[in-house]
Amino acid sequence: MCDNWTAQMSHLALYRKYRPDSFAEVAGQEHITRALGNAIDRGTFVHAYLFSGPRGCGKTSTARLVAQALNCEQGPTSTPCGTCRFCTSIRTGQCIDVIEMDAASQTGIDDIREAVIENAIYAPMEARFKVYIIDEVHDLSSKAFDALLKTIEEPPAHVLFILATTELGKVPLTVRSRCQKHEFRRGSLPDLVKRLETVVQREGWTAEPGALGAVARMADGGYRDALSLLEQVAGSGSGLVTLADVNETLGLVPDDLTNSLLRALSDHDGGKTLALIDEAMLSGREPRAVLESLIHKASELTRLVHGAEIGTIEPDRRALLHELATYVGKENLARFGLGLAEAHAKLRTSGLPRLWLEIALLGLTEKPAEVVGKAAPVKTAEPSKPEPIAKVAAVELPVDPELADMERAWRQTIENIIARGSKSAEEMLGTSRVIRMLEGTITIELASQFMYAKLEDPNGRTHRELQTNFRSTIGDDKWSLAYRLRSGDGPAGEEPAKVPMPLEGEELEKAIEEMGGERISNSK
């Protein structure tokens, strides 16, 4: 029984078992390991280093390799032997002269004074250099940083500091300025897959095509996270890593379901979208997992349509991605990416995540308001025309994307009327703007009191003609126009709009006729 327990307790996690044993094995950080190796070989290494970067990208492992390179019996050398007593004891964490601290749990000035300041003055007991590796150094208190500063600034010749942090901005500038900084990069998808393939091969496992890519995408650039996820998936002990196991173990949404969701969004099919959400929920997937799977797939397709690198993938899967990207289209991918990212940010604080997921995806099934109709599209006039359309007063677009689309459509409607020779439209409608969309009604704010009086009658000819022009511009007859007179102060930050003087006589009759009214005859 004891032997069994000992065997279980001696099991090493994959990320510990496959820690890099040399600078050459540190994946994705060649720009750092090359600089460190050259400095050690030349004897130009410094007394304090600051390693920053995301979690699980090799900061602590590289710090231990620096300690090995400096203290190896064959060194200092960039290629330590790995077999001498110093290399072995440092790798196993048993070297008395390599002191590792976790600043997340040892944050105070007393911890720093006892572990570092009071002991740094003494020479190493057996190694060549005494190396202090302080992980998550940004968690130290301000007083602890102050106490550490003097020792880092002028350490004894036999002492070297390596500080590691995931939040460089929290490290005081005074400390940063006394260290040589190296920024570790997040692992790329090809590098992560390559690392996983190496581990699978060494473990004697077999990985199904696509399974390691799914694990790498979930790791989000972290080598340690990638190995932890791989070990979690391979926990059954069968030696076969399948895509189905990855999806089931990590709670991912299968590719087929994600692809069907993107097709339903592209087809503006709300019913199909809801049915697919139900299918995902019944299979035990969380709303957040559904959104994240859609975001990853939309990102992958977007990179594909723009010709960017998406990593090494099998030919069959690449062909399917090309087909899906063509079906969804570049414009939809851009719209989906933004909408899904916004929904994901709000889902974290939502008390009803499934309901929020349904609302967000149903919103993406709606057709964009900016549609080419019978008249010109909602864009600026083509430069090829000999005479440009008269310009309409510039109005800042609303933050709401749908409201901004309607504002563009309204601007285009005015320009179309002006292009037909109506100068009064420029004066009376040029500073108007869309302020609200509610239940099929678009509310227009007018600066001209004269025009407001003409348009407030919903049965009036001027209103009907203007509404017809607007519907023609957007290619959708469901929208109605309503109007509101702008207050004298105008919106915050803007000057009050200039209201044209009332027209009289022939000018009044001409303006009424231009806006769709009838000329008043003088005959009785």
pLDDT of 69 reads 94
- Residues 445 and 435: beta-carbon distance below 8 Å: yes
The neighbour count for residue 180, using CB atoms within 10 Å, is: 14
Q: What is the DSSP string of 411-462?
A: HHHHHHHHHTT-HHHHHHHTT-EEEEEETTEEEEEES-HHHHHHHS-TTSHH
pLDDT of 499 reads 42
φ, ψ for residue 52 (rounded to 5)?
-125, 155
Q: How far apart are CA 213 and CA 252, in angstroms?
A: 13
Between strands 130-135 and 159-165, the pairing is parallel
Q: How far apart are CA 240 and CA 389, in angstroms?
A: 67
Q: Which amino acid is at 464?
A: R
pLDDT of 236 reads 63
Angle between helices 270-282 and 353-365 (to 10 degrees): 150
Q: What is the DSSP string of 156-215?
A: -TTEEEEEEES-GGGS-HHHHTTSEEEEPPPPPHHHHHHHHHHHHHHHT-EE-TTHHHHH
Which residue do the tokens 């190896």 mark?
72
Q: How far apart are CA 221 and CA 228, in angstroms?
A: 13
Per-residue tokens: 459: 């049965």
Per-residue tokens: 476: 């959708």
**φ/ψ bin of 127: left (φ > 0), alpha (ψ from -120 to 50), beta (otherwise):** beta
The neighbour count for residue 320, using CB atoms within 10 Å, is: 15
Any idea what DSSP says for residue 43?
T
Segments in the chain below pLDDT 50: 1, 5-7, 371-391, 489-501, 518-524
Helices (H) and strands (E) in the chain, counts: 24, 10
Q: How far apart are CA 152 and CA 172, in angstroms?
A: 13
pLDDT of 372 reads 43
Q: How far apart are CA 366 and CA 267, in angstroms?
A: 9
φ, ψ for residue 436 (rounded to 5)?
-160, 145
The residues with which 378 forms a beta bridge, in sequence order, are none
Chain centroid to Cα 301, Å, comes to 15
pLDDT of 446 reads 84
Q: How far apart are CA 494 and CA 46, in angstroms?
A: 58
Q: Which amino acid is at 228?
A: S
pTM: 0.61
